[in-house]
Chains A and B, each alone.
Chain A
Amino acid sequence: MRSTRELARQFMPLITLVVLVVAVGAFQPQFVNPATLLQIASDTATLFVLGAGVTLVIMLGGIDLSIQSVASLTSVIVALLLGQLGYLAFPVAVAIGAGVGLLSGLAHVRLKIPSFIASLAIGGCAAGAALLLSDARSITLGETERGYTAWITGRALGIPNEVVIGAIVLIAGTVVQRYTAFGRFSTAIGAGEPAAIASGIRVGLHKVTAFVLSGAAAGLAGVILAGRLASGSPTLANQLLLPAIAAVIVGGTAITGGVGSIWRTLVGALIITVVRTGMTFLNVDIFLQQAVFGAVLIIAVALTIDRSKIPIVK
């Protein structure tokens, strides 16, 4: 019985994705041609990168609500620095994202503040910083600056570079999860924190690391967005928090931690994008789509959550 459930958990997201693609394809045959599918893949890249980062935090049983503010902040930073620093602006932006993640992680671990409130607060600071730096305006990239973003917007061998970036993040994330001490310990901590503490795992260190990586991923997502939209703005990523978390959960990573992986988040992100594309085909209002994702998120959480881990649900 249990193994059936495990199997279902393992493959449900993938089956859902295939069914969705077929369903949308049945209504709109042009949906299932290589060009459209590649477009979908590149549309998914930003969402996936955001989701991949937050997956690492959710694996530990925490949550990072600062990702959209971090991504907006780094889009502003790229837009401001690209003219002076050139390519150096990108690593600087990602590093600042990681720095914000570090702050969230430290506030959470050192001050023992629940992760959702620590990341909400630090995210608020990041949003404030983005408003301050940009003077609450959208900053458009100039002609020369756009030259530096070709690695985001261009294509190699017919494949959009964003897809390649997404693939690199997928590989890197999987390696981190499977073959590093951090990855193994994360799963252990998420599966049972008291046992992890008792066996001498440095829980605090790994939690902070997860937040730093999540911040860096959000920073990278902001960089990609800035390249894609040729601008930086303090509200650029504002609608992405919910879809990103939904992508993680829909992919089958449990909000209670311990179960999940980056590739599941990829499947989840693709589901979100296909659902969104499908809704656009069906002329569902773009704002109503947010409401749908809210509902999808709740259903997915209810299906994947491990209730044995939380005797008291707060």
Chain B
Amino acid sequence: MTAAADAVSPQGSAWERWRRRLGPWAPVLVLVLLSIAIGIANDRFFSFGNLSRIADAASIPLVLGLGITFIIIMGSIDLSIEGVLSFGAVVLSLLVLNGVNDNDFGLLGVVIVLAIGAGMGFVNGAIHVGLRIPSFMATLGMWFVGVGIGNAILGGIQVRVNDELIRALALERLFGFKYQVWVALLALAGAFVIERYTRFGRYIYAIGGGEDLADLSGIKVRRIRILAFTLAGAFYGLGGVMAVAQQGSAFALIGSDRLFTTVTAVVVGGTALMGGAGGVLNTLVGALIVVVLDNGMVLMGVSPYVQQIVLGVLIVVAVAMSVDRIRTRIVK
């Protein structure tokens, strides 16, 4: 630790040392300690029924989190999750067997929704890169565009979904866990392969670590950025499908509050908003932390509204811990 760094933040040294020692294992440690604490307070926590409930609850935040992880690794952000998810869910409900029209596209409907998600992500990326505006602004716009169009299509109504394949996601079980849990794990495996074993995966870390260097070393930064947003959009589309399965219906506000949970999961998992660090396995841990905390508070009878406050505090603490105070002087 240099003298200059100490001068930047007086209490920095002890804090930095502590942070470094815990290092990348902090999220796992938090998850374990949290689980033990809740388990001691309430012995129902470790029952299989409850663990399966936690897996259910974690599956959508995980899938959404996987998508945004790619974006956050690049040092960008995607606020359009709720927009893409809502619009995807609304379109899905109108394509598969439903209570409003005669469509019955089944699996093709799901594929179309994934494509729509990817398309909206592509637009995010194209606007962000093409017009050179910050990603949070471009995706803030898409958030409201998505929810707005979803709302305009359905008005206030709720569309019941009768498609058996989709209902099965949230109703049928395999080895004790619902199908949606397995779908989420498949998505995790896919995201892991993309992150570790593709060029794209390596490039997004390079971009997050230092975009100017990545650019100079010949990485097609703009193309990779657009690709990352497109990929993220496809994950949100999948999240939309799973949300419809869980609710048994679609409505325009089906995405409400999901952005908050997802971002919390990703940053609590240890993926730094600065970019260049973290990954999809962090997001798995983060999603579990958020859901376990939620589950524990429910078991202990804490008001559901307090939970949102806890999530907010959690974001602040997690981001504060991951910020590299020596490297950053100016934060906007």
Contacts and interface: CB of A to CB of B under 8 A. Distances in A.
Asked whether A and B interact, the reply is: yes
Interface string B56-81: 00000000000000000011110000
A281 B252 CA distance: 24
A242 B320 contact: no
A290 B132 contact: no
Contact of B144 (A107, A197, A293): A293
A20 interface: no
22 contacts: A112-B320, A112-B328, A115-B332, A117-B77, A120-B315, A121-B312, A121-B316, A123-B312, A125-B308, A127-B308, A128-B306, A128-B310, A128-B312, A131-B308, A132-B305, A193-B330, A242-B140, A290-B145, A294-B140, A294-B141, A294-B143, A301-B137
Give the interface residue-count category, chain A. 35 or more
B82 to A, nearest CB: 12
Give the interface residue-count category, chain B. 35 or more
Interface of B: 74-77, 127-129, 131-138, 140-149, 151-152, 155, 211-212, 252, 260, 263, 267, 273, 275, 303, 305-313, 315-316, 319-320, 323, 325, 328-332
Interface string A60-93: 0111000000000000000000000000000000
Most buried by A among B149, B260, B316: B316
B137 A297 contact: yes
A242 B142 CA distance: 11
B309 A128 contact: yes
A113 B147 contact: no
A132 B141 contact: no
Given A113-B319, A113-B320, A290-B147, 4 more contacts: A107-B320, A287-B151, A291-B145, A291-B146
A292 B141 CA distance: 9
B133 A197 contact: no
A307 interface: yes
B313 to A, nearest CB: 7
B329 to A, nearest CB: 7
A312 interface: yes
A132 B202 CA distance: 44
A124 B127 contact: no
A62 B319 CA distance: 17
Nearest to A123: B312
B141 A121 contact: no
Interface string A225-255: 0000000000000000010010000000001
A54 interface: no
Contact of A194 (B132, B137, B308, B330): B330
A61 B332 contact: yes
Contacts of A255: 133-134, 137
A116 interface: yes
Contact of B325 (A112, A285, A307, A311): A112
A242 B82 CA distance: 14
B319 A128 contact: no
A264 interface: no
B141 A117 contact: no
Given A111-B320, A113-B331, A313-B128, A124 B311 contact: yes
A127 to B, nearest CB: 6
A299 to B, nearest CB: 9
Contacts of A124: 260, 308-309, 311-312, 315
Given A287-B152, A301-B137, A312-B211, A197 B320 contact: no
A125 B192 CA distance: 32
